[in-house]
A = this chain, B = another copy of it.
Amino acid sequence: MSRARPRNGGRLAVVGLGPGGVGWRTAAASALLAEATDLVGYSAYLAMVDAQVAGQVRHPSDNREEERRAAQALDLAAEGRSVALVSSGDPGVFAMAAAVMEQLDRPDRPAAWESVEVVVSPGVSAAQAAAALSGAPLGHDFATISLSDNLKPWSVIESRLAAAAAADFVLALYNPASRHRSSQLERALALIGAYRDPATPVVVARDVGRPGETVRVVPLGEVDPAMVDMRTVLIVGSSQTRTVALPGRARLGVYTPRRYPEVSAGA
């Protein structure tokens, strides 16, 4: 959001780190992190903020405490602090920006929060980094879907997967698995497989932009859920997505052409 007039209160910046290290981080995000008096976030994301600023206070928390973390960040800002609430990737995509908006939409929103300037600093999201590392699989229309059923019914996930697969969207799949669930990905792949050829290229990318990064290109019919964990993002091609030999590389590139032929989608 554009800067508002100066306030008595502090500032809450919801900051996207991008997919890993500083290379894929925006200049605005780095500046907001450097200016902050307080960093709030999931401990694994705070660990991705290398630069230590003198006097800056870090408030690490558990991954599952999004509501409390958002409220804590607003409370600190209401005390006049300059707070950076840190997300991996883009805070606007399955991340903390919505959690902050939910807090601001509470009927019992604390009066102290009225003095806080809220800004959201966007970032490169994991699927975009996976796409860049593999070629251009998101070069045409695509649907971005979280497979986590923590906060939405599985029936909604299934209906969205089927609709997007039938309409021949490329699919970017976030949160494909966790320690607590693995069957969802199997069911999702089976559902998509009803609409797509088993040879459809799938990008399986783990820890993009981080140490140990892996990017694999696997035919849809050979994707093994054992390849996938909570740190993985998948991009499932459309009927048009192709592989291409890239100069001097062993791994195939993947791209979705800009042109779409004159046939009915998903046929």
Chain A residues with a Cβ under 8 A of chain B: 1-2, 4-5, 7, 9, 18, 22-28, 30-31, 66, 90-95, 97-102, 104-105, 113-118, 120-125, 128-129, 131-146, 151-153, 155-156, 159-160, 162-164, 166-169, 213, 215, 242, 244-249, 253, 255-260, 262, 264-266
A26's nearest neighbour on chain B, judged by CB, is B24
- A140-B98, A144-B143, A156-B260 known; A1 and B255 CB under 8 Å? no
Q: Which are the 4 A-B pairs with shortest beta-carbon distances? A: A98-B139, A152-B260, A101-B255, A163-B167
Residue from B26, B105, B132, B245 in contact with A25 in the complex, judged by beta carbons closer than 8 Å: B26
Shortest beta-carbon distance from A5 to chain B in Å: 7
User: How far apart sit A264 and B157, CA to CA, in the bound complex (Å)?
Assistant: 10
Would you call B104 and A248 a contact (CB within 8 A)?
no
Q: Which residues of B contact A100 (CB under 8 A)?
A: 136
Contacts beyond the supplied A143-B164, A155-B265: 6 A-B pairs with Cβ under 8 Å: A95-B139, A98-B136, A98-B139, A105-B244, A155-B264, A156-B260
State whether B247 touches A113 (Cβ < 8 A): yes
The answer to whether B264 and A136 touch across the interface, beta carbons within 8 angstroms, is no
Supposing A26-B18, A26-B24, A102-B258 touch, asked if A128 and B93 sit within 8 A by C-beta, the answer is: yes
Closest to A2 in B: B133
CA distance A144 to B170 in the complex (A): 10
